[in-house]
Structure 1
Amino acid sequence: MKVIFIRHSEPDYSMLDKAQNPQAYVEFGRDLAPLTARGRLLAQEAAQNPLLDEAEVIISSSITRALETAFYMARHRAINLLVEPFFHEWRPDLDGLNYTEVELALAHQTYMVNDGNLPSDSPIRYETGAEVKARFLLALKKYCQYETVAVVTHGMLMRQFVPLDHIDYCQFVTCDIDL
């Protein structure tokens, strides 16, 4: 299957940062953030990318920033949009401890330094790169009826399939995946 990976557009966390209880919006709570005005514009421009001509369907992570990005593409292309909850971002807190921003940054740094692996002596438990990849591949099997899919998702997930240190907002990367 050909997968056209598309990283979500630029999110706007400002309203969550200004919420009555901003601590309630760390980790997965941050996933409720919509796109910035610039992010909406980037998504609308990305909807014109000719790679989308090949896609039979757009499948989006259920996280708001990805779903809003995919909406602009599906609307512009008049193509079906499916939502896949298991195409979500990397999970930095597997124990549900509601890490602070400092702990989340430590989880990310530890993940990056260890190439996505989890050291046995790590004080925090996060989803490894191998676990992210396995989660994605298992969910992708549901879409085997398609030859080419566009997947709007997250940089950490995309990096499990393409060797890029940095992936820009709305960047397209294609990959052939055997299921």
Structure 2
Amino acid sequence: MKVYLIRHSEPDFSQVDAAGYKGLARDLTRLTPKGIKIADQAAQNPIFQQVQMLLISPYTRTMQTAHEILKYHQIPNQVELLLHEWRPDKSNKMDASQQELDIAYQDFLNGTHNSTLDFETRDEVMTRVNSVLDRYKNKYDCIACVTHGGVMAQYTGDREIPFCGIYEINYN
């Protein structure tokens, strides 16, 4: 099955930061006006002519990115919980410092574990996302997933994925 992995567009954390939201609540952030334009441009990509199903991470920034795509294309779509971003703290307490989060993210990218946090490993991310893709691989020839850079890095090896970057993988 051909899978197009699409990173969400540019998020605007100012509203959630001003509200004092921490941890998972920060994932309620919307796109910037520039992010909406970037998503609108990405929606013009001809790949969407072949996409049979659009899967979407449950974060606001991914759903808003998908909304921009779906304004132009009538593609069946489904929000899939397990397409979410990498979890730096599996306890969901999210009371870690920025330095602790940065160390955990570098561990995640490098496959090491120098962090004091119980973060989601690369293998755990792959297992989680593969469990979603496995449910679609015998039903469709081509799907797209609006997801996150941390997820996409595991499939592409690219650590610098641009907003609305589109990567094609072959998933068997």
Query: Which TM-score bucket, shorter chain as reference?
Result: over 0.9
| CA 1:94–1:73: 2 relative to 1, 3 Å | same
| CA 1:11–1:101: 2 relative to 1, 3 Å | farther
Shift of 1:139: 1.4
Q: Which amino acid aligns with 2:113?
A: L
Counterpart check, 1:169 vs 2:163? yes
Length, aligned pairs only: 170
RMSD value, Cα = 1.4
**Alignment map for 1:7-156 (pairs within 5 Å):** 7-19=7-19, 22=20, 25-102=21-98, 103-112=100-109, 115-119=110-114, 122-144=115-137, 145-156=139-150
Report the identity percentage.
37
DSSP-derived class of the 2:95 partner? coil
User: How does the TM-score come out when normalised to structure 1?
Assistant: 0.89
Deviations 1:104-141 (A, max 9, x none): 233223323xx13435xx41110011110110001112
| CA 1:101–1:17: 2 relative to 1, 3 Å | farther
Deviations 1:34-54 (A, max 9, x none): 101001111111000011111
Which segments of 5 or more consecutive residues in structure 1 lack a partner in the other structure? Answer: none
DSSP-derived class of the 2:154 partner? coil
2:9–2:164 CA contact under 8 A, matched in 1: yes
DSSP-derived class of the 1:164 partner? coil
User: How does the TM-score come out when normalised to structure 2?
Assistant: 0.93
Q: Which amino acid aligns with 1:107?
A: A
Q: Which amino acid aligns with 1:81?
A: N
2:17–2:26 CA contact under 8 A, matched in 1: no
Shift of 1:101: 4.4
1:69–1:152 CA contact under 8 A, matched in 2: yes
Counterpart check, 1:2 vs 2:5? no
What is the alpha-carbon distance in structure 1 between the residues aligned to residue 96 and residue 116 of structure 2? 14
What is the alpha-carbon distance in structure 2 between the residues aligned to residue 118 and residue 89 of structure 1? 19
Which segments of 5 or more consecutive residues in structure 2 lack a partner in the other structure? Answer: none
